[in-house]
Amino acid sequence: MSALICGSFAYDTIMVFHDKFKNHILPDKVHILNVAFHVPEMRREFGGCAGNIAYNLKLLGGDPLPMGTIGNDFGPYAEWMDACGVPRTHLKVIDETYTAQAFITTDMDDNQIIAFHPGAMDFAHHNQVGDAEDIRIGMVSPDGRDGMIEHATQFAEAGIPFIFDPGQGLPLFGGEDLKTFIDQASYVCVNDYEAELLQERTGLSPHEIAERVEALIITRGARGSEIYLPQHRIDIPAAPARELADPTGCGDAYRAGLLYGLMHDLDWEVTGRIAALMGAIKIESHGTQNHRFDRAGFEARYKESFGHALAW
């Protein structure tokens, strides 16, 4: 049985500006802004929420089945997925479009200027959950707005439990839309900023959201994470990271850990710790799909991080 992961696929082009934006942007001239930044460092990474989550779930030994829409430039990413053993069965090419792309320029103060082109992602609703077979659990992660709405409805109508992971797509939805997602989902996973926005737009507290789902998971970076169940809350400690290289994609790695635990009927204490360790391992590498580990190495890190052996 597989995890059907609905969400985006994207290329991330990351550039480093060896200075500070503030030295080149005059506040009183922003109405006629015309600047160019010399960026001697550049790399192109494979990304997108569905791609990242599927990659991490595969590392854990899980069975990911990503679903997304891609452009006619997807060739290099397709080769990478094949090399990683991640299936492309439910990736749909949208002719005459590019795969979604983010162009990220970072300065020496860690400020970022980002241009995002959604491309094929806006056609996510062309995929149907019903086209996939033998699905144990689903996920609705950031994607085209219509695709997120339709896939959540399709999971609910098919009786397939799923995680609602709005991520950076959360601002696309009003309070009533978000309440509908919550009522359709079995689980909701957000970071601390998204939790505040979710609460503001729905008027529901974390405990009230937890009463409408099986679990609400809130990640808080170095402060760990919280799993709200209908009757109580479980606090999950953060796993120590050996190096803080790049936080991009840590949330996706965490969510892969959640999927793995749910697919294998592990309790929340273990599931949350697996997810936390996935985030720590990811932050030690640049890019979202460049980290590696084997089962023995993961088990050793788990015991080192939490003081007891992993029974999975």
Helix (H, G, I), strand (E, B) or coil at 117: strand
Q: In whole angstroms, how far apart are CA 299 and each of 175, 304, 311?
A: 41, 9, 9
- Determine the average pLDDT of the residues in 109-122: 91
Query: Does residue 30 fall inside a structural domain?
Result: no
Mean pLDDT confidence for 78-85? 98
Range of the domain at 297: 2-23+37-306
Write b or e for each residue in 153-187: b if 16 or more Cβ atoms lie within 10 A of its Cβ, otherwise e. ebbbeeebbbbbbbbebbebbeeebbbebbebbbb
Per-residue pLDDT tens for 199-239?
999 999 999 999 999 999 999 999 999 999 999 999 999 99
> Which residues are 105's β-sheet partners?
15, 113
**pLDDT per position as a tens digit, 25-75:** 888 878 888 889 999 989 999 999 999 999 999 999 999 999 999 999 999
CA 141/CA 189 separation, integer angstroms = 10
> In sequence order, what are the residues at sequence separation of 6 or more whose Cβ sits closer than 8 angstroms to the Cβ of residue 74?
9, 91, 93, 99
Residue 312 lies in a domain: no
In this structure, how many other beta carbons lie within 10 angstroms of the beta carbon of residue 262?
21
- Alpha carbon distances (Å) from 259 to 16, 23, 162: 34, 44, 9
Which pLDDT tens digit goes with each residue over 234-273? 999 999 999 999 888 999 999 999 999 999 999 999 999 9
Q: What percent of the chain has pLDDT over 70?
A: 100
CA 161-167-172 angle, 5° bins: 100
Whole-angstrom Cα distance, residue 148 to residue 129?
A: 11
pTM of the model: 0.95
What pLDDT is stored for residue 311 in this prediction? Answer: 86
Q: Whole-angstrom distance between the N-terminal and C-terminal Cα of the chain? A: 17
Q: Does the residue 29 lie in any domain?
A: no
CA angle 109, 170, 164 (to 5 degrees): 120
If one counts the domains in the chain, the total is 1
pLDDT per residue over 127-178, tens digit each? 999 999 999 999 999 999 999 999 999 999 999 999 999 999 999 999 999 9
Report the DSSP beta bridge partners of residue 219.
Answer: 191, 225
Q: Is residue 311 a part of any domain in this protein?
A: no
Residues 89 and 68: their CA atoms lie apart, in Å, by 10
The DSSP code sequence of 274-296 is HHHHHHHHHHTSSSSS-----HH
In a domain, 197, yes or no: yes
The predicted model gives 80-104 an average pLDDT of: 97
- Both tokens assigned to 309: 């052996």
pLDDT the model gives residue 106: 87
Residue 302 falls inside a structural domain: yes
Q: Is residue 154 part of a domain?
A: yes
How far apart are the C-alpha atoms of 201 and 190, rounded to whole Å?
14
Q: Which of 261, 262, 255 is nearest to 278 (CA)?
A: 255
Identify the CATH number of the domain in which residue 216 sits.
3.40.1190.20
Specify if 32 maps to a domain: no
Write out the E strands in 208-290: 215-219, 225-228, 233-236
How many whole angstroms separate alpha carbon 261 and alpha carbon 16?
37
